[in-house]
Amino acid sequence: MNWEYESPRKAYGETLVELGKEREDIVVLDADLSTSTKTAMFGKEFPHRFFNVGLQEQNMMGIAAGLARCGKTVFASSFAVFATGRAYDQVRQSIAYPNLNVKIVATHGGVTVGEDGASHQMIEDIGLMCGLPNMRVIVPVDSHEVRRVIRFVASQDGPFYVRLTRTALPNLTSKDDEFVFSRGTLMRDGSDATIIATGIEVSYALLATEILKKEGYDIRVVNMSTIKPIDKGIIIKAAKETGAIMTVEDHNIYNGLGSRVAEVLVENYPVPMRRHGMRDVFGKSGRWDALLEHYGMDEKGIAREMREFLKEVKK
């Protein structure tokens, strides 16, 4: 595939600067990781509206809540493991429960954090955030979508969780595409089965379908950027038209995309299903691409998993 690769973190930082120029109510907080999360771009342009609170993620969420109470639109950023794990109580009690206008944009989500190892590879964050009433959860598929998503969440009242990766992503969408909240996107049509993927795994799912195509399989691919509220319609349609669904995510298979899709299917249109991702294990330290290969989450691993799944379906 001849894809252009771009950093979603950089797209986030650039979009914050654009919003800062357009709106005086935009305020940004970070917890001593602004160079990595790219919120430093906003801090350089608008130092009076940028607050680096240091290694105090819990306090950052409390401050974000207070600023939102004062009428500000607040973006609070850190690595996913800190933004959702270390600060979970504050996110729950101070942001989600009072339904405040705070946008938690976490970078370095999933096992693709790489060399930082299991302690920093947050594979539970989607589950944690989806379980919170009032919280909406988005995992953009590429940098173009990051820009659209950040603008969208800034235009909406209430809390959002946006998960970004450390590594660059291929741009699978165009700059002119529209982001429609709570809507999945058909990336490739097919009739034998459907892969529903999110984030970095969408590109690997598309590559996997090329491998499977040579073997005679026709696989549909859906990008599910909005995890909560999830697009029930596109899931049920895929179930009816292809008869089998496999989810793929850089996250624990428990309480992530797979669980959300399974809930829709079991309540509306049960079909054979398989969840693929981190199989309830912590990650290891290593290059991010080597880790995806190790856990079977690259194109070869996804193709292998789908091949085995379809054999079981046809028994």
> Omega into 8 within 30° of 0, i.e. cis?
no
Beta strands in the chain (DSSP E): 5-6, 26-30, 50-52, 73-79, 102-107, 136-138, 160-163, 169-170, 185-188, 193-197, 219-223, 226-228, 245-252, 273-278
CA dist 140 and 101 (Å) reads 20
**215 carries an active-site annotation:** no
Residue from 14, 57, 201, 305 carrying the catalytic annotation: 57
CA dist 193 and 244 (Å) reads 5
Nearest to 306 by CA among 185, 228, 201: 201
Q: Which residue has the tokens 């607050």?
A: 51
CA dist 12 and 42 (Å) reads 10
Active-site residue numbers? 57
